[in-house]
Structure 1
Amino acid sequence: MTIYEIRLANTRHLLREKGLMLKDLAQRMNKAPAQISSFAGASAFKSIGNQIAREIEHAFDLPRGYLDTPHEGHANGTVLGNTGRKLPVIGSVAAGAWCEAVDNFAPGDAEEWIEAPGPVGPNAFILRVEGISMEPKFLEGEKVVIDPSLEASPGHYVVARRMSDHSVTLKQLRQEGSELYLYAVNPNWPERIIRMSEDWHICGRARWKIVDL
Structure 2
Amino acid sequence: MNIHQIRRKNLQHLADSKFPGHGQQRKLAEFMGWSSPIRASQLLNEKGIKNIGETIARLVEQKFSLPRDWLDHTHPDLWNGVAESVSAYNITTEFMNSAGIHIKALPLLQDDEAVQWISGKRFTPTSKLQFPTMPMMTVSENAFVLEETTSSMPPQQPGDFYYIDPLITPESGDWAAFIIDGRVVVGKYEKGRMRDRLEFTDGKEAAIEVTEYQHAGKVLTRVNGDFARGVSG
1:106 correspondence with 2:123: yes
Letter in 2 for 1:195: E
Q: Higher relative CO (CA 8 A, sep ≥ 6), structure 1 or 2?
A: 1
Q: Which of 214, 217, 221 is equivalent to 1:201?
A: 214
1:151 correspondence with 2:195: no
* Deviation (angstroms), 1:154: 1.0
Q: CA separation in 2, counterparts of 1:131 and 1:94?
A: 15
Q: Deviations over 1:8-64 (max 9, x none)?
A: xxxxxxxxxxxxxxxxxxxxxxxxxxxxxxxxxxxxxxxxxxxxxxxxxxxxxxxxx
Q: CA separation in 2, counterparts of 1:120 and 1:174?
A: 23
Unmatched tracts of structure 1, length 5 or more: 1-70
Letter in 1 for 2:217: G
* Deviation (angstroms), 1:186: 2.4
Kindly report the root-mean-square deviation, in angstroms, between the aligned alpha carbons of the 2 structures.
2.5
Q: CA separation in 2, counterparts of 1:149 and 1:143?
A: 18
TM-score, scaled relative to structure 2 = 0.48
Q: Which of 142, 148, 159 is equivalent to 1:123?
A: 142
Q: CA separation in 2, counterparts of 1:131 and 1:186?
A: 15
Letter in 2 for 1:173: Y
User: 1:134-145 to 2 correspondence within 5 Å?
Assistant: 134-136=153-155, 138-145=156-163
- What secondary structure does 1:88 align onto? strand
Runs of 4+ in 1 over 3 A off after TM superposition: 71-75
**Contact 2:179–2:215 (Cα < 8 Å) also in 1:** yes
Decide whether aligned partners of structure 1 residues 86 and 74 sit closer, same or farther in structure 2, where only a CA change above 3 A counts: closer
TM-score, scaled relative to structure 1 = 0.52
Paired position in structure 2 for 1:87: 106
Decide whether aligned partners of structure 1 residues 93 and 186 sit closer, same or farther in structure 2, where only a CA change above 3 A counts: farther
Q: CA separation in 1, counterparts of 2:147 and 2:97?
A: 27
Q: CA separation in 2, counterparts of 1:73 and 1:197?
A: 40
Q: CA separation in 1, counterparts of 2:184 and 2:114?
A: 7
Q: Deviations over 1:71-96 (max 9, x none)?
A: 96587xx74xx42x311111122111
Q: Which has the larger radius of gyration?
A: 2
Q: CA separation in 1, counterparts of 2:197 and 2:132?
A: 29
User: 1:62-73 to 2 correspondence within 5 Å?
Assistant: none
- What secondary structure does 1:158 align onto? strand
1:179 correspondence with 2:195: yes
Q: CA separation in 2, counterparts of 1:184 and 1:140?
A: 16
Q: Deviations over 1:133-154 (max 9, x none)?
A: 3323x22210111011222111
* Deviation (angstroms), 1:182: 1.2
